[in-house]
Amino acid sequence: MATFWRHECDTCGYAFETSGPHEFFMDADGKPADYGHPLAKSHEAESAGISGFYGRMWCLNLDRSVDVVIREFVHAVGRYDDIWSPGAHPEKTVEIVCPDCGDGSPVMGDLPHGESIPCPKCGDDLICTVIKWS
């Protein structure tokens, strides 16, 4: 059940969208792939099980969308195995960084404590609006 955000700059109008968390599975090549929601989107996903969650984030450094693993289970679990409860399954330690450049501040939703997100185009502060849940 993901939340979708639209981040928009009041100064220059630049905008981008982010979302998450989304379920993922490890594909045949050992890479994270979208599992689907509410059901598996492929037989491969269903057979593999859910490996964790990722966020479709925005890398401010690269100024583009990146998929970032935000929770990963030690072992893949089934669709109905209480995946949304933290601590229900052993988890790996994950570092939330851009997988392409290593930047440690990819944006998904609002930042905690009212911190601002700088606009990648003009440097002013962006505002974030939740647009829908699925």
Task: Kindly report the pTM of this predicted structure.
Answer: 0.88
Handedness of CA 126, 16, 131, 11 (dihedral sign): positive
The whole-angstrom separation of Cα 50 and Cα 7 is 29
Q: Which residues contact 67 (CB under 8 A, 6 or more apart)?
A: 32, 54, 55, 56, 57, 99
22-78 residue pLDDT tens? 999 999 999 999 999 989 999 999 999 999 999 999 998 999 999 999 999 999 999
Overall domain count for the chain: 1
What pLDDT is recorded for position 22? 95
What pLDDT is recorded for position 111? 65
Q: Which domain holds residue 85?
A: 3-133
Provide mean pLDDT across the span 77-81.
Answer: 89
Provide mean pLDDT across the span 12-30.
Answer: 94
What pLDDT is recorded for position 28? 95
The amino acid at residue 57 is M
83-124 residue pLDDT tens? 888 889 999 999 999 999 999 989 888 665 567 788 888 988
Token pair recorded at residue 5: 């955000």
